Amino acid sequence: MKIWDERRLVLPINYFISKPFQNWTRVNPDLLGTVYLYLDYSASMDKIRQRFEKLLRESKLWDKVSSIQVNDCKERVIELRALMSARNSGDTFGLRCHVREKLIEFIQYEYPASLPKTRSEAMLSPQKEIIQG
């Protein structure tokens, strides 16, 4: 079996006979790649979505399928899922790495407050009045 980095993985035939698998390629071998980002709730989805689309338009690896959505809400962060397609597994891996790096860089420089952070609430005690005698 040829794997994403052009190496070959050798599997005995009984592996395929004893373990069922599904081929999800349908008509052609185009692949979908996924990038997950974890951001603060203050993140601007419109700006991140615009940058994501710009990165894909500028990439020779991308082949026209894309989506970026808030996939989940955790206690402290939101989970973004960026989905993109490429012609083959090598292009998909390269595109995922490129998009991940450039989105992180964009958020670091343009919206640093959107990076995950830990919050703590100070316990405020009522002010005690000092009675002077």
Q: 15 in a domain, yes or no? A: no
Q: What is the CATH number of the domain that holds 67?
A: 3.30.70.100
Tens of pLDDT, residues 70-129: 999 999 999 999 999 998 888 999 999 999 999 999 999 999 999 988 766 665 555 555
Type of residue at 93: F
Q: Is the pLDDT of residue 2 over 80?
A: no
Q: What is the pTM of this model?
A: 0.68
Work out the angle at residue 107's Cα, subtended by the Cα atoms of residues 99 and 63, and round it to the nearest 5 degrees: 20
Q: 18 in a domain, yes or no? A: no
Q: Is the pLDDT of residue 54 over 90?
A: yes
Q: 23 in a domain, yes or no? A: no
Mean pLDDT for the stretch of residues 7-23: 74
pLDDT at 69: 95
Q: 93 in a domain, yes or no? A: yes
Structural domain boundaries, residue 49: 29-114
Per cent of the chain over pLDDT 70 is 79
Q: Dump the DSSP string for 12-79.
A: -HHHHHHS------TTS--EEEEEEEEE-TT--HHHHHHHHHHHHHH-SSEEEEEEEEEEEE-SS-EE
Q: 3 in a domain, yes or no? A: no
Number of structural domains (the chain) is 1
Cβ 10 vs Cβ 55: under 8 Å: no
Q: 64 in a domain, yes or no? A: yes
Q: 132 in a domain, yes or no? A: no
Q: 126 in a domain, yes or no? A: no
